[in-house]
Chain A
Amino acid sequence: EAGVAQSPRYKIIEKRQSVAFWCNPISGHATLYWYQQILGQGPKLLIQFQNNGVVDDSQLPKDRFSAERLKGVDSTLKIQPAKLEDSAVYLCASSRGQGLAKNIQYFGAGTRLSVL
């Protein structure tokens, strides 16, 4: 079974520029998550999708961040414009569904963003 695919692996941009990340979850997984992980901290949930609907985006800075999962499969996360404090690893994860026993998350390798 193929894992969660993310691209790019690394991205360096200047502040105020825009950037987009892509995620393809494990086939058949209904739930998709985007996390921000700052060095030395645990992952912070930005947005959670169930199929193509948003379950929770309470921690997504909506003035600059946006995410979509139009066909209920792959997803993109965008930052526009980027700030220095956005430097982090952006992790995508997927899980089969919302039932607890099914909610084991499988993570992609992440995109390491550096904002200069």
Chain B
Amino acid sequence: NAGVTQTPKFQVLKTGQSMTLQCAQDMNHEYMSWYRQDPGMGLRLIHYSVGAGITDQGEVPNGYNVSRSTTEDFPLRLLSAAPSQTSVYFCASSYSGGGVETQYFGPGTRLLVL
């Protein structure tokens, strides 16, 4: 199993550009989520999904869109990038069976918005 994969690893954008951060998991997990990591602030939840076709907002959703058409994929879209979106983005997946839910994280995408 590849686990949770993210592409690209690093991206530079100009203000106003759009892009999609890709996330895929091959563990057949029900739940997927996106976090951003900023210095001194830990990780903050952007959006999450409890299954294909079902998404909801987390703590910091503004400026980001998500959709989940398949169990495996959960892309994060920035429609008009802003410097405040410079961050490291982590995708995670988890499932509900077998005891305490445990999250598995991808390696991250480092985004710089100029």
A binds B: no
**Interface residue ranges, A against B (CB under 8 Å):** none
**Interface residue ranges, B against A (CB under 8 Å):** none
